[in-house]
Structure 1
Amino acid sequence: MAKLLSFAGSAWAIVSAILTSVSAASLPQPRADVSACKLKANQSVYLSAGFGYDLNCAPSVGTLSAFMIFVDFSDQSATESSPDILRDFFLPAAADWYSTSSYGALDLSVTADTSRFYRMPATAVSYNWERGLTAEVHERYIQDALAAYNATIPPVDVLYIVPTANASAITYSPTFVGDVRTRDGTYVARKSVTFGYDGYRTWGFLVLNHETGHTMCLPDYYPYNGSATGLFIGGWDLMGLISGPSPDYFAWDKWRLGWLVDSQVDCVAEPGQTSHVLSPVEVVGGKKAVVVKHNDTEALVIEVRSSTGLDTKSCAAGVLLYTVSTIIETGEGPVNVLNVTPGSGGCAGDELNDATLTLNGINSYTIADWGVKVTVVATNGEDFKLTIDVL
C-alpha cells in the first residue's frame, strides 16, 4: 500500500508618533486611487507581469495543493534507501518558505507517495533533457511518469515529479504550464513541475519555490539570451537568481499574488511631491511599496529591503527601485532593478546587489526619462521615509 505523507505546508520614535498624528491634509499624499497603479496584464504576452493574467494559474492565497511522486530509470536507477530522503530534501522547507514570504497567506500542501521509486519506461538519456526541451517531449515525460505510477491521483493544483538524485541526464527543472492529463485524458493537475539534477547540485529546495512560482504565473526575471543571470535584477528575487542573497519576492509580485492588500501600497499617478513611510518587504505589516505609474504598461516600484526574514544574506539593505513592464515577456526583462550605485562593483557577486538608496549613502536617484526623483529623508530602524517628486 502506498505510503502517503502530507505537509501543510528614541528620538525617532517620538518624531514618528508626531508625524502619524499630523492631519492628513498637512502632508503630501499619494495622488491616485491605488487601483490606477494595478497595471493590467497583457494576455498576449507570455507570463505578463501585470494584474489579472489568466493561464489557469495555481492559487496563491489559501491552499495550493500538490501531489509528489518519485521516479528512476533503467540507466540511472535510484540508490537512495527511500524516496523519503528526496522528499525531505524539498519539504517542508519549501512550504515554510512560502508561509514566510506570503505572511501566512499561502499554504503549500503536498501529499507525497514515498512508497517507492516508479520506473520510467524510457532511459533518462533518451529524453534529451537539455535547454530547448520541447513541450511535446516534456509532456511525454510527464505522461510516462503517470503511466509508471499507474494509480489514481485526486485532482490537484500541481503535480511534482522528482527523479532519483542519480538521474544526471535530467539536467534541470522546468515547469509544464498546460493542463496535466494522463494519456487516456484523465485530468490530474493545472501544472506540473519536473525536477532535475540542478536542484540537488546547485539550487537546493528553493528550486521548488522558483518553479512553483511559475505555476502561479510568475515570469522568469533572468535573461534567456545567455547573458549573466543577474542582468536584469541581480540577486533580488527568487524568480531571477535562485541562489541570490535576497530571494524574497518583489513587493510588486506579492501585491499581484494577494499577499499584500491595497492599503499596503501607495499609488502615484500625477505630477507633484508625495511623502511615504515604508517598512521592509520581509516583515509583516506596514506600508510595503510605492508604485509610480508611468503609463498603462509601465511603472516604477519603490520598496524597502532588509537583511531579515528570507533575506538574511542580503549585502545591501535599503530602498530598492525597479521598473515593471507588462508587455515584456518572461526571460526578456519584464522587471529591471535600477542601478542607483553605478560603478560600485556591487556585492555578493553582482553589480546590482547593492543597488539601494540609504540615508547615509546615496540617498537620492532621478529617472530622467520618466521625470521621477526618489529621495530618502529619514529612517526609523529599518523603516524609511521617502519623498517622491514627479514632474
Structure 2
Amino acid sequence: MPRLHRAGGVERSILRRAAAAATSLMALAATSLVAGPAVAATGEAGPCALPRTEVHHSLGVDEWNGAYPHPVHSLDAVMIFLSFPDHHPGATPEELTADYFPATTQFFQRASYGKFTLRPHPLRQWIQMPKASVRYGIQRDWNSERRSAYLRDAIAAADPKVDFSRFDIVYLVADPDAPGVDSDATKVVNFDRPVRADGADIRRVVTIFEQHPPDHNVLAHETGHVFDLPDLYHRPSDGKGDWDTYVGDWDVMGSQFGLAPELFGWHKWKLGWLDRRQVVCVQRSRDITLEPMAAVPAPGASIGTRLAVIMTGEGSAVAIEARSATGNDRTTCTEGVLLYRVRNGTPSGGGPVQVIDTHPTTDACWDRSVYAPLADAPMRVGETFTIPGAHARIEVADRTPSGAWTVRITTGT
C-alpha cells in the first residue's frame, strides 16, 4: 500500500503450535496468485461480463474465485493486537480499534448498499510476540523468511486466545510505536499453502503496522484485497514518481487518500453488489440514466441503474458511471460521468483499470487531489467525448432533479 503522496486448552494449544511450526508459512506478497474454485456469480452476469482469468485479482466478473470470502452477507473479522518485548505499548487495543471501526464497517455498508456488513471482533488485550520488534526486519519489501517467522510467531502467540474457525478475516495489528515497526509494511499476505487452525484454513492475513492514528481508509483498501480486488495504483519501478496515474482519486483500491474513494461500479459488479438489473450492456445507441455510484437508496427503494458497459475486446471494456458528492464520495473534487477502461488479463498493480481523462489539458484540486490531472476526469452536462478504440461517442445530456445523469451513447462512430 503506498503512503501519502503530497504535491502509501493447553494440549490443544501445544498440538496446534506444533502443527503451525510444521506448516509451510512461506508467504507470498499481495501480488501473488491465489487460485481457487470457480463459484457462480451472484445472479446472471450478462453479455458484457468479462471472464475471470488466472492473473492475480482478475477483474473478470462471470464467476467468483472461491479462495476468497464473498462479501454478500455478514463476515466476521478478528483483530489481534501484537506487542513486543522491546516496547511497552502506549495505546490500548480499544484506542486502536477505534482508529478503524466503525468507520470501515460503515464504508462497506454504504458501498454495498447494505448488502454487506463487516463485523469486527477485537481482542481486549495485547498478545506479546516472543522476539523484539527489531528482530523481524519489518519493512515494505519484506524478507520472506523474516516475514514468515513473524506470521508463525503471531499465530502461535494468539492461538490460546483465538478460535480461528469463528472468523472469516484475520487482522494482525502490531504495536505502532515499537522501534522495529514500519508503517509502510501494511499489506495483505497470502500463504502459498493455507495454515490449518481449529479446523479452518487461514489463506491470508492482513498485517497492520500503521501509526496511530492510521492512514485514512487504509483498512478499507487492505480489506478490499481480502475480497479479491486489485491494487489500482502504479508503483514506479525506481520508487520515484507518481503512484496514482492510473485512477487518481477514484476508488479506494487506488489511493486510500483519494477524494472519491467509492469503489468503481465494476468492482461492485464483481463483488455481487450490482447485478445485471443495475448494469446496462450497451450494444446499440441509446440513452441511459445513471444514478450516482455512491448514492445509497432509501430503505425499501431499488438501487437503480449504476453502470453502463461497452465491450472493446474479448478481455476489455469501457465502463461508464456517475460520480457525485454523496456517501463515500462526499469529498469528491468534481462531479459528473466517469469513463474508465477495464482489462481482465492485467494483474493487480499493472493497471487493470485506467480512468479516461475527458479533460486532458486541465486539472483540478491540485492542493487536495492525489493526482490533479485526473481529478477533473468526469464529463459534465453538455459535454461530448468520443472514446478512442471503442467506436462510441458519449454525451452527458442532462441531470435530473433527483441528481441522476442522463447519458446519450452513440455506437458505431
TM-score of the superposed pair, with normalisation by structure 2: 0.80
Rate the CA distance shift 1:138–1:37 in 2: closer, same or farther, 3 A: farther
Answering whether residue 234 of structure 2 is matched by residue 197 of structure 1, we say no
Q: Deviations over 1:205-237 (max 9, x none)?
A: x21111110000000000123441211000100
Find the counterpart in structure 2 of residue 241 from structure 1. Answer: 255
Find the counterpart in structure 2 of residue 42 from structure 1. Answer: 53
Provide the C-alpha distance between the structure 2 equivalents of 1:167 and 1:245, rounded to a whole number of angstroms: 31
Answering whether residue 281 of structure 2 is matched by residue 281 of structure 1, we say no
Provide the C-alpha distance between the structure 2 equivalents of 1:292 and 1:34, rounded to a whole number of angstroms: 14
Q: Say which of 373, 376, 386 aligns to 2:393.
A: 373
Q: Which amino acid aligns with 2:272?
A: G
Question: For structure 1, which segment, 242-251 or 135-144, has the greater mean C-alpha deviation from structure 2 after superposition?
Answer: 135-144
Find the counterpart in structure 2 of residue 355 from structure 1. Answer: 377
The structural deviation recorded for 1:372 is 1.8
Rate the CA distance shift 1:325–1:317 in 2: closer, same or farther, 3 A: same
Q: Which amino acid aligns with 1:78?
A: P
Rate the CA distance shift 1:136–1:100 in 2: closer, same or farther, 3 A: farther
Provide the C-alpha distance between the structure 1 equivalents of 2:305 and 2:146, rounded to a whole number of angstroms: 45
Find the counterpart in structure 2 of residue 99 from structure 1. Answer: 109
Q: How does 1:136-175 map to 2 (within 5 A)?
A: 136-151=145-160, 152-155=162-165, 156-167=167-178, 169-171=181-183, 172-175=185-188
**Structure 1 counterpart SS, 2:406:** strand
Q: Which runs of 5+ in 2 are unaligned?
A: 1-43, 298-302
Q: Deviations over 1:337-356 (max 9, x none)?
A: 00101121232332101101
Q: How does 1:64-143 map to 2 (within 5 A)?
A: 64-80=75-91, 82-114=92-124, 116-143=125-152
Q: Deviations over 1:68-123 (max 9, x none)?
A: 1101112233122x311111111111111111111111111121111x21111222
Provide the C-alpha distance between the structure 2 equivalents of 1:34 and 1:344, rounded to a whole number of angstroms: 37
Contact 2:110 2:327 in 1 (8 A): yes
Contact 2:51 2:60 in 1 (8 A): yes
Q: Percent identity?
A: 30
Contact 2:318 2:390 in 1 (8 A): no
Rate the CA distance shift 1:55–1:124 in 2: closer, same or farther, 3 A: farther
Provide the C-alpha distance between the structure 2 equivalents of 1:88 and 1:376, rounded to a whole number of angstroms: 42
Find the counterpart in structure 1 of residue 348 from structure 2. Answer: 330
Contact 2:137 2:143 in 1 (8 A): no
The structural deviation recorded for 1:34 is 6.1
Q: Deviations over 1:175-227 (max 9, x none)?
A: 02336526x896453421010125x36514x2111111000000000012344
Q: Which runs of 5+ in 1 are unaligned?
A: 1-32
Rate the CA distance shift 1:375–1:58 in 2: closer, same or farther, 3 A: same
Provide the C-alpha distance between the structure 2 equivalents of 1:181 and 1:105, rounded to a whole number of angstroms: 29
Provide the C-alpha distance between the structure 1 equivalents of 2:324 and 2:393, rounded to a whole number of angstroms: 22
Rate the CA distance shift 1:62–1:235 in 2: closer, same or farther, 3 A: same
Let me know the Cα RMSD of the aligned residues: 2.0
Question: For structure 1, which segment, 256-265 or 168-177, has the greater mean C-alpha deviation from structure 2 after superposition?
Answer: 168-177
**Structure 1 counterpart SS, 2:168:** strand
Answering whether residue 390 of structure 2 is matched by residue 384 of structure 1, we say no
Q: How does 1:298-309 map to 2 (within 5 A)?
A: 298-309=316-327
Find the counterpart in structure 2 of residue 231 from structure 1. Answer: 245
Find the counterpart in structure 2 of residue 9 from structure 1. Answer: none
Q: How does 1:4-19 map to 2 (within 5 A)?
A: none
Contact 2:333 2:364 in 1 (8 A): no
Provide the C-alpha distance between the structure 2 equivalents of 1:145 and 1:69, rounded to a whole number of angstroms: 9
Q: Which amino acid aligns with 2:169?
A: V
Contact 1:143 1:181 in 2 (8 A): no
Contact 2:195 2:203 in 1 (8 A): no
Contact 1:180 1:192 in 2 (8 A): no
Answering whether residue 364 of structure 2 is matched by residue 346 of structure 1, we say yes
Q: Deviations over 1:257-295 (max 9, x none)?
A: 011121001002x4x412111110011321101010111
Contact 2:248 2:254 in 1 (8 A): yes
**Structure 2 counterpart SS, 1:167:** coil
Contact 1:177 1:215 in 2 (8 A): no
The structural deviation recorded for 1:167 is 2.9
The structural deviation recorded for 1:369 is 2.2
Q: Which amino acid aligns with 1:254?
A: K
Q: Which amino acid aligns with 1:247?
A: P
**Structure 1 counterpart SS, 2:266:** helix
